[in-house]
Amino acid sequence: MAKYHTNPMGDYSKKMQKKRNKNSAVHQMLYPKKKRKKSGCYVATCVYGTYDCPQLWVLRRFRDDVLEQSWFGRRFITLYYAISPTLVKLLGGSKTITAHWRRLLDPFVENLKEKGIQDTPYND
């Protein structure tokens, strides 16, 4: 019985071909990447009482311009949006807890502003 020789790069070549196909213009048209829907900053909105204020504009820019750019940041965002609605429902009515969160967020926002993140109106 004859032995068949296989290409030692065969599996690698197939993987690379699939990768090239996924990067093709046709593939991108047929299977566009899903855009992540931007969501509100649940905890900060609860703390500051509104979605449109300078502190939230800074935090939203930080999310979109800094956190979204790294794997770890994207995982943090995913975790945040998974647990924060429940936290707000459970703890959002407490003035003591919102005051505590504000004491934590205010210096963080000021630090981000010092690093150049703007507090001007922001549409996401």
Q: What is the mean pLDDT of residues 105-112?
A: 96
Q: What pTM did the predictor assign?
A: 0.66
Reading the block at residue 28, the tokens are: 């991108």
Q: What is the mean pLDDT of residues 4-24?
A: 55
Highest mean pLDDT among 10-24, 88-102, 109-123: 109-123
Is the CB of residue 119 less than 8 Å from the CB of residue 57?
Answer: yes
Q: Where are the alpha helices (DSSP H) in the chain?
A: 10-22, 25-30, 42-48, 54-65, 71-91, 95-114
Q: What is the pLDDT of residues 46-91, one digit of tens each?
A: 889 888 899 999 999 999 999 999 999 999 999 999 999 998 888 8
Classify burial at 29, counting beta carbons within 10 Å of its beta carbon; exposed 0-12, middle 13-18, buried 19 or more: exposed
Residues 119 and 71: their CA atoms lie apart, in Å, by 25
Domain spans of the chain?
42-114
